[in-house]
């Protein structure tokens, strides 16, 4: 994530499997735990053009001119990749890039202006 809400930049590695199927986010109040969960949730639902301003860090609401990005690398079978790619392109106007055994999914095009 980069410039998402109050988080300047963070990378989460979820490849390390915990002993259970639960990942725990631990931190002080107002440290960004909820913002991380909201960013992950963006991969499930679209955000409208009208609501895009809610992604801007609150401290920079009036002077923000940078890129906001939330990306995920996934490992999928070829069949899963094609199915997800078709679904996202048809229903959400997202696109997938294939790189070796992983893909990078880049969210709604309107908040990644350099990639349009």
Residue 114: its pLDDT value, please?
Answer: 35
Q: Please choose, from the candidates 46, 45, 43, 33, the residue with its C-alpha nearest in 3D space to the C-alpha of residue 5.
A: 33
The total number of structural domains in the chain stands at 1
**Biggest alpha carbon–alpha carbon distance for the chain:** 44
Q: How confident is the model at residue 106 (pLDDT cuts 50, 70, 90)?
A: low
pLDDT in tens, 45-89: 666 667 777 777 777 777 877 777 777 776 777 888 788 778 878
Range 87-109 average pLDDT: 62
Look up residue 69 and give its DSSP letter: B
Show the domain range for 94.
2-115
Using the predicted structure, report yes or no on whether residue 109 has a pLDDT greater than 70. Answer: no
pLDDT in tens, 17-38: 777 777 888 889 988 888 888 8
């Amino acid at each position: 994530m980069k410039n998402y809400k109050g988080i300047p930049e963070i990378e989460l590695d979820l490849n390390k499997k915990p002993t259970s199927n639960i990942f725990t986010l631990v931190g002080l109040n107002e440290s960004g735990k909820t913002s991380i969960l909201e960013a992950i949730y963006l991969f499930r639902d679209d955000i409208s053009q009208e609501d895009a301003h809610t992604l801007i860090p609150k401290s920079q609401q009036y002077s923000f001119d940078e890129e906001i990005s939330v990306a995920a690398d996934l490992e999928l079978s070829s069949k899963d990749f094609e199915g997800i790619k078709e679904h996202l392109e048809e229903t959400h106007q997202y696109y997938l890039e294939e790189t070796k055994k992983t893909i990078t999914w880049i969210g709604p095009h309107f908040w990644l202006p350099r990639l349009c």
